[in-house]
Amino acid sequence: MTRPKLYVAGNWKMNGLQADLKEIESVKAGVQPSGPDVAIFPPATLLHQAASLVKGSPVEIGAQDCHAQPKGAFTGDLSAPILKDAGASAVIVGHSERRSGHGETSRDVHAKASAGLKAGLKVIVCIGETKGERVAGLAPEVCARQVAASLPEDSTPDTVIVAYEPVWAIGTGLSPTIPDITAIHEVVRREIHKRFPASEGKHWRVLYGGSVTAANAASIFESAEVDGVLVGGASLNAASFLAIIAAAKAASGSRTA
Ligand code: PGA
């Protein structure tokens, strides 16, 4: 088994009106099948149209969260089967804005990830330490614990992607050094291998996220431990997102299996 293709994901968060679908059209027009895998996670209201727009292209469309139950009396929530039905082929779970803003624990994230897998969605599980935990030297331990507790038993390298997103780097313009990113990705892979000994850590995709821009993407891809990026702010504009996709494509050439 060779190293997986790089994966460039854009998390639109609570941004995106009908008029912004043109950004997705531009991304679709600018990507090449020979490039990295590309995914856009718009708000749920745009999922159906976005999925129709990218049909037949290498771009996949995903949702930003899902409920752990497949259906029921949960006003305002969206289940994995509902998201799949709307056109999503992937879902992000455990984003720090959900963990901190909505009190989600790794146990909740595990349940949501299971629901995503059960519905046939690819699942991106986010983990990452806070500033306080980094300063206290606890980042490796916190990230290992989150990986151990958040990934469902039926995770496979084809269906689950881990995104390392230090909380303090999200939306702040701050990012860890490349050696710091590499070190945590190694911890993540070791933990995954411990949980799933039948597969090697390097067969799983581990993304970096947190203030990734067109300006710093190339240097982040210099770490052979980085299998892709999860991009927030810089994914809202097609030109900057395409520049990050181009940086991934340039980096893939120099990667070995
Ligand atoms: P950012 O967000 O790129 O705006 O820092 C990343 C994320 O939260 O996924």
- Average pLDDT of span 206-218: 98
The residues facing 148 across adjacent strands are none
| Cβ atoms within 10 Å, residue 48 | 14
Tell me, what's the pLDDT at 256? Answer: 60
Tens-place pLDDT, residues 48-101: 999 999 999 999 999 999 999 999 999 999 999 999 999 999 999 999 999 989
Q: Indicate whether 239 belongs to any domain.
A: yes
Tens-place pLDDT, residues 224-234: 999 999 999 99
pTM of the model: 0.97
**Has residue 19 got a pLDDT over 80?**
yes
Tell me, what's the pLDDT at 15? Answer: 98
Number of domains in the chain: 1
Name the residue with the closest Cα to ligand 1, atom 7: 232
Q: Indicate whether 257 belongs to any domain.
A: no
Name the residue with the closest Cα to ligand 1, atom 1: 232
Distance between CA atoms of 155 and 28, rounded to whole angstroms? 29
Looking up residue 64, the CATH number of its domain turns out to be: 3.20.20.70
Residue 47 Cα, ligand 1 centroid: separation in angstroms? Answer: 19
**Ligand 1 within 6 A of CB of 16:** no
Q: Using only C-alpha atoms, what is the Rg of the chain?
A: 17
Q: Could you tell me the two tokens for 255?
A: 């990667």
Nearest to 193 by CA among 157, 165, 242, 225: 157
| Ligand 1 atom showing the smallest separation from residue 163 Cα | 9
Tell me, what's the pLDDT at 23? Answer: 98
Q: Indicate whether 236 belongs to any domain.
A: yes
**Ligand 1 within 6 A of CB of 11:** yes
Q: Indicate whether 158 belongs to any domain.
A: yes
Q: Indicate whether 2 belongs to any domain.
A: no
Share of the chain above pLDDT 70, in %: 98
Name the residue with the closest Cα to ligand 1, atom 3: 232
**What residue type is assigned to position 25 of the chain?**
E
**Has residue 3 got a pLDDT over 80?**
no
Tens-place pLDDT, residues 136-168: 999 999 999 999 999 999 999 999 999 999 999
**Has residue 257 got a pLDDT over 80?**
no
Residue 82 Cα, ligand 1 centroid: separation in angstroms? Answer: 25
Phi, psi of 172, deg, nearest 5 = -110, -15
How far is residue 154 from each of residues 97, 101, 110, 164, 182, measured CA to CA in Å? 25, 28, 11, 20, 26
Beta strands in 132-198 (DSSP E): 160-164
Pocket test for ligand 1, best of 92, 170, 216 (most atoms within 8 A of CB): 170
| Ligand 1 atom showing the smallest separation from residue 235 Cα | 3
Q: What count of residues does the chain have?
A: 257
Q: Quickly state the pLDDT bin for 201 (edges 50, 70, 90).
A: confident
Tell me, what's the pLDDT at 189? Answer: 97
Tell me, what's the pLDDT at 1? Answer: 55
**Ligand 1 within 6 A of CB of 211:** yes
- What's the chain's average pLDDT? 96
Angle at 31 between CA 55 and CA 161, to 5 degrees: 80
Tens-place pLDDT, residues 125-136: 999 999 999 999
Q: Indicate whether 78 belongs to any domain.
A: yes
Distance between CA atoms of 177 and 197, rounded to whole angstroms? 29
Residue 55 Cα, ligand 1 centroid: separation in angstroms? Answer: 26
Q: Which residue segment(s) compose the domain that 150 sits in?
A: 7-252
